[in-house]
Amino acid sequence: MIRIGKYNTLKVVKLVDFGVYLDGGEGQEILLPAKYISSPLEPGDEIKVFIYRDSEERLIATTEHPYAEVGEFAFLQVCAVNRIGAFLDWGLTKQLLVPFGEQRVKMHEGMVCLVYVYLDHVTKRIVASAKIEKFLGNQYPDYKVGDKVRALVYKHTDIGYKVIVDNAFHGMIYESDLYAPLVVEEVITAYVKNVREDGKIDLLVNGANDGRIEQLADKIIGRLREEPDGFLPLGDGSSPEAIRETFSCSKKDFKKAIGFLYKKHALLITPGGLRLTDR
């Protein structure tokens, strides 16, 4: 079964002057135009191609790589707008349509928009929608704490960053759990911190400790030893910004590290800050 809007590995069935025909199953042949063929092909060879519909709505194969497949979210730029809708650059020769009814705000040329790419089951065309909410959280996520996920960062808020998890779920990465800012539009690896009752997912950029708390503890001790009196005016009450500026870490990791050092009797936690015990 051919998957439209996805990559398919298909077998060459015949050669023609303008390309090759691939076996699409059930007696269907799909053209791979010559301009997309970089090395000679022979009948029986297999090739990985992306399948979509051309301007005449015929199935066509390409070795070009779209920025997003059907079922994925991506930030794409508007190339043109006409009476049908907006057309996006998605990495293929044929641009991707966002019908007016699927636009959150009126799109204009040059605008970069977050969209979901999907197959319209009525027209069988690949189109996009900027109304992303209706494509998220349509089932309850089946994740465990610590599971690794793919996260697309799409919005910065007062409390952190909204992300799309594995092209299917709402996610959130809190400022208090970060040691450095994230970049909107980037795709990152993240780890499940908590799955809420409403199906939204809280994430961490770092998963298991992986030794980072011990490394941060060494960094804190090194900084304290640089101070003439072995004292640093940072502690539980310090702002996340002050901690991030000094140690490039989240307040949560900072508190774990000083707790680790306190248990080892390496420092004292005073109302005014941290003090080495060997001074």
What's the pLDDT tens digit per position in 43-65?
999 999 999 998 888 999 999 99
Average of per-residue pLDDT across 109-133? 95
Distance CA 178, CA 251 (A): 8
- Per-residue confidence (pLDDT) for residue 208, from 0 to 100: 54
- Per-residue confidence (pLDDT) for residue 68, from 0 to 100: 97
CB within 8 A of 35, min separation 6: which ones?
Answer: 19
- Per-residue confidence (pLDDT) for residue 279, from 0 to 100: 62
- In the structure encoding, which two tokens stand for residue 279, read together? 């001074």
Grade residue 176 by pLDDT with cuts at 50, 70 and 90: confident
Q: Where are the alpha helices (DSSP H) in the chain?
A: 212-226, 240-247, 251-263
* Averaged pLDDT score across all residues of the chain: 93
More confident call, 207 vs 66: 66
Q: What is the pLDDT of residues 223-246, one digit of tens each?
A: 999 998 999 999 888 998 899 899
- pLDDT at residue 108 is higher than 90: yes
Distance CA 128, CA 112 (A): 13
% of the chain at pLDDT higher than 70: 97
Comparing C-alpha atoms, which of 187, 193, 203 is closest to residue 72? 187
